[in-house]
Chains A and B, each alone.
Chain A
Amino acid sequence: MDQAPPAIALVALEKRFGNLHVLRGIDLAIAHGEVVCLIGPSGSGKSTLLRCVNRLEQPTGGRILINGENICAPDCDLDRVRTKIGMVFQQFNLFPHLCVLDNLTIAQCKVLKRSPAIAERKARAVLARVDLLEKIHEYPSRLSGGQQQRVAIARALAMDPEMMLFDEATSALDPELIGEVLDVIRSLAEDGMTMLVVTHEMGFARRVADQVVFMDGGLIVEQGHPDSVLGNPQHERTQRFLRRMSAR
C-alpha cells in the first residue's frame, strides 16, 4: 500500500560555507500536520537548516523532499515550491515602502495572479486571524515589533501555504511582546498547520511541539516527544544546553 510522503523530508543534508561545515548530514522527516521545534545553541546550524528547506541557502549535499518532490533537482521550479512554504523571519522583513494591505497582497497578485479584490479579501481574513484588521492601512514602521511579526505571519498565510517555517520569530522582540506572537503560532498548530519552528522558547516548544529536535555542531543530537527530549534528555549535550537555558 502506498503511503503519502512526509510534508518535509531531509536526507543526508549537508551545508558548508567554505571551510565551515555547518550541517553535517541531517536526516529528518516531518509529517503533514506535525509541529517540529528545532532547538540548540547558537551556531548549531538550526537556522541554516531551516533556510535550506525553502532553499534560501543552497545545500552542498543531500536532498530535500517537499511532498516527496526533490527540490534540489536542477529542473525544480523553486518559485512554485516556495509559494507552498510560508516563512517568518527573526527580523520580520516586512516591506517598509508598502502599507500592511499591500504587504499582504503584492505576492498574491504578482505570483498567484489573484485579482486585487480577491487578494484584499484574503488579506482581510488573515489579518483578522492575527487580530490586526484595524492596522490594514498603516505602514510597518508605525507598528510595534509584535504587531509587525503578526503581520509577517499573516503575509505568509495569505499565500495559503501548506507548511510554515519560523526562524526565531520571537528573538528580536521585547519580552512583553513575545506572548502575542507565540499565541498566533500556537493557534496555527491547533489548526493542523505543518510547521518547523526554530525557537529558544522552551516552554512554548514543550506545549506546542509534536516533536522536538535538539541540534549541536551541525548534527541532530537527540529528537523525540517534547516530554522526553526536554523533560528527560538522554544526551549530556542536551542536558547541558537545557540547564543553561533554564538558568537564564
Chain B
Amino acid sequence: MTLTRRRRAELIRYAIYAATLALVTWAVAATDWTRLRESFLDGDIFLRLFPDILVRAARNTLIFTFLGFTGGLALGLLLALMRLSPVRPYRWAAALYIEVFRGLPALITIVLIGFVLPIALHVRVPGTYGPGSLALAIVTGAYLAETIRAGIEAVPRGQMEAARSLGMSHGRAMVSIVIPQAFRVILPPLTNELVLLLKDTSLLFVLGTTDQTIELTKFGRDAVSDTFNGTPLIAVALVYLVITLPLTRAVAWLERRQKQAVR
C-alpha cells in the first residue's frame, strides 16, 4: 500500500510524539522521588542559602561578568582594529594574541594571570576583583576580536567612502559610522559571548576565593560540602537561569526592534 507523502510525514510526526511521551513517562515513573527530594530539593537548606546566594554569590558573579565583558569588549575592539590595520606588525601582534588566548583553556589563562604573573614579573593585579576580571577580559577579548572584525568587514565599503567624502577622518568615520553598524550585525554573537563569560566566572575558584570574591558555583559547592546535600547546586542552577534568560530575551527583543527600524 502506498501512502501519500503528507500522510507519511504525519505518521512519522505522531511516532516521534509517542516516543517522547513514553520516554518522559518512564523517566517520571522510574525516578526515586523520595531520595531525589531528600538529596537535592531540601526546602530548609534551600531557604537557608538566602540571602547570601544573591547578595554575595550572584552579585560577585555579575560584577566579574560586567568587568570581564567591558574589558573584553574594549580589548576586542582594539584587537579587531589592529587586525584591519594597514600596519603589518599590528596585524601580526593581534593575530598572535588572538590565536594564543583562543587556543588556551580559560582555566589556564586565569592561573597565568593569578599566579605566574606575580611570580615572574612581581606584578600583582590590584583590586579585589582585579585578577579575576583581567583574566576573563583577556580571554573574552580574544574571542570578541574576531567577532568584531567580522562585523566591521560586513559594513559595506561605501559607508566608509561616504563618510570620508564628507571630510571625516578615518578614525571619526570608524567611530561614528562603521562601528555602530558593525555592532548591530554582531549583537547575537555578542550575547552568546556574554552568556559564555557569565558561566566562565565559575572557573575563578582556582584563584582561591575569599568571602568577598566568592561566586555562584563555588558558593554552591561550598554549601554542598557543608550540608552534605545537593540542594545548593539546584539553587545555584536556578539563579544562573534567572540571570541568563531575561538577558537573552532582552537582546532578542532589541534585535527585533532594530530589524523594524533599519533595513
Contact = CB atoms under 8 A, between A and B. Distances in A.
**Interface secondary structure of B, over-half rule:** helix
Nearest to A82: B167
Interface string A81-102: 0110111010101111100000
Nearest to B161: A56
Contacts of B164: 56, 79, 82
A139 interface: yes
Contacts of B262: 96-97, 139, 141
A139 B261 contact: yes
B181 A159 contact: no
Contact of A110 (B162, B168, B261): B168
A152 B162 CA distance: 9
Contacts of B167: 79-80, 82-83, 107, 111-112, 159
B162 A95 contact: yes
B180 A155 contact: no
B172 interface: yes
A54 interface: yes
A110 B166 CA distance: 10
B85 interface: no
Interface string A130-171: 000000000101000000000010011001000000000000
A24 to B, nearest CB: 24
Interface in B143-170: 156, 158-159, 161-169
Contacts of B181: 95-97
Contacts of A139: 261-262
B161 A93 contact: yes
Contacts of B158: 89, 91, 93
Interface in B165-219: 165-169, 172, 176-177, 180-181, 184
B263 interface: yes
A106 interface: yes
Nearest to A81: B167
A112 B172 CA distance: 13
Contacts of B176: 106, 110
A85 B165 contact: yes
Contacts of A107: 163, 166-168
Contact of B180 (A54, A82, A97, A112): A97
Contacts of A155: 166
Interface in B243-262: 261-262
Interface of A: 54, 56, 79-80, 82-83, 85-87, 89, 91, 93-97, 106-107, 110-112, 139, 141, 152, 155-156, 159
* Minimum-distance CB pairs A-B, first 6: A83-B167, A93-B162, A107-B166, A87-B165, A93-B158, A111-B167
8 contacts: A54-B165, A79-B169, A82-B166, A86-B165, A93-B161, A95-B177, A107-B163, A141-B263
Given A56-B165, A93-B159, 8 more contacts: A56-B161, A86-B165, A89-B162, A96-B263, A97-B184, A107-B168, A111-B168, A139-B261
